[in-house]
Amino acid sequence: MLNCYQYDAFQSKSQLTYFCLDDKLKWVIRRLIMINDKKVLFSGMQATGNLTLGNYLGALKNWVKLSDEYECFYCVVDEHSITIRQDPAVLRKRARTLLTLYIAAGLNPEKNCIYYQSHVSGHAELAWILNCFTYMGELNRMTQFKDKAAKHADNINAGLFTYPVLMAADILLFQTDVVPVGIDQKQHLEITRDIAQRFNSIYGDVFTIPEAYIGKSGAKIMSLQEPTKKMSKSDENPNGSIYLMDDPDTIMRKCKKAVTDSEGHVLYRDEQPGVKNLIDIYSACTGKTPAEVEKEFDGKGYGEFKLAVGEAVKAQLKPLQDEIARLEKEKAYIDGIIKNNAEKAAYYANKTLRKVQRKVGFPDRIR
């Protein structure tokens, strides 16, 4: 694997010189810069709906923590988004905001490969091949397909059905070792592993078999109105979710309105799902453990606790919102990242793709 410094040097400073070298030397340079002992991490998010506090605390914040340890690819999976009908202008805008959010949240775009799925054609190309190694029966068992098909009964398209295969392609394209995902994506990770193992058993060791990485704390932020349901971008009740772009007053109002219970104690127990969820949110925002939170609010009422949660969420989101606003003005900078990272991702993607194409019997390219 190419490390970021080597890659940057290679990209910016030596690009001109590089292209003047003969093929043998180019090959040697490529071998040298591929030495990197870090494991590969891949994850992605869809740019559909308004992102929520759950997306940030449950996913993005963990991504930032993992980004030192792994060679990371963080993708805006816009190709997955069109399995449900989208307004093109809205999708484009949201994809850009999501990519900006990755950076605003603290992912360094020079070290982490942050890019749009649709800019790297290998995703769709590998997905096609993997479609031919996936059974209808397997896809029929996917609970997310069943849920989405029920929700969008007027548009049960083939893309929605083969959605997990595109996701498998995303992951396998980069020889990924770990995939941080929410629990709802675990089944998709399992089918990815099955497809990879099936392919490897026919053609030899082509794909790395990826592991799911299910985050521990803050992995699941629930709805403020129905605390047994996940906080979701597509929730019809806007009071159930705190959106990343909510202003401070809205955040406070939603926290104050959050459903609790009649127990009257700030305790971290399954029997009090609303309070438990608020403790999770407060913990994730402040870094305190649930036990510390229980202690802090021992003998205090829900009103006081909810105020503190509201303040903590406000303090968490304000810098993020400010940074997004700042980055949105840096158009040339973001454009540069989009371009460079798409090239970097395509470089790795093509290595796997060419190998796969060769294995299944496609003719060699003529150079």
Return residues touching ligand TRP (CB under 6 A).
Answer: 42-46, 77, 80, 167, 170-171, 179, 181, 185
Shorter beta-carbon distance to ligand TRP: residue 172 or 338: 172
Contact 293, 267 (CB under 8 A): no
Shorter beta-carbon distance to ligand TRP: residue 14 or 187: 187
- At 47 the three-state DSSP class reads coil
* Bridge partners, residue 42, by sequence: 73
DSSP state of 39: P
What residues are labeled active site?
148, 230, 233
Q: How far is the CB of 268 from ligand TRP (least distance, A)?
A: 27
**Backbone dihedral region for residue 124 (phi beyond 0: left; psi -120 to 50: alpha; all else: beta):** alpha
Contact 318, 285 (CB under 8 A): no
CA dist 75 and 212 (Å) reads 16
Q: Where are the alpha helices (DSSP H) in 228-301?
A: 248-257, 273-286, 290-296
Q: How far is the CB of 116 from ligand TRP (least distance, A)?
A: 12
CA–CA distances in Å: residue 52 to residues 89, 114, 120, 221, 228: 21, 20, 27, 10, 17
Contact 246, 233 (CB under 8 A): no
CA dist 106 and 312 (Å) reads 19
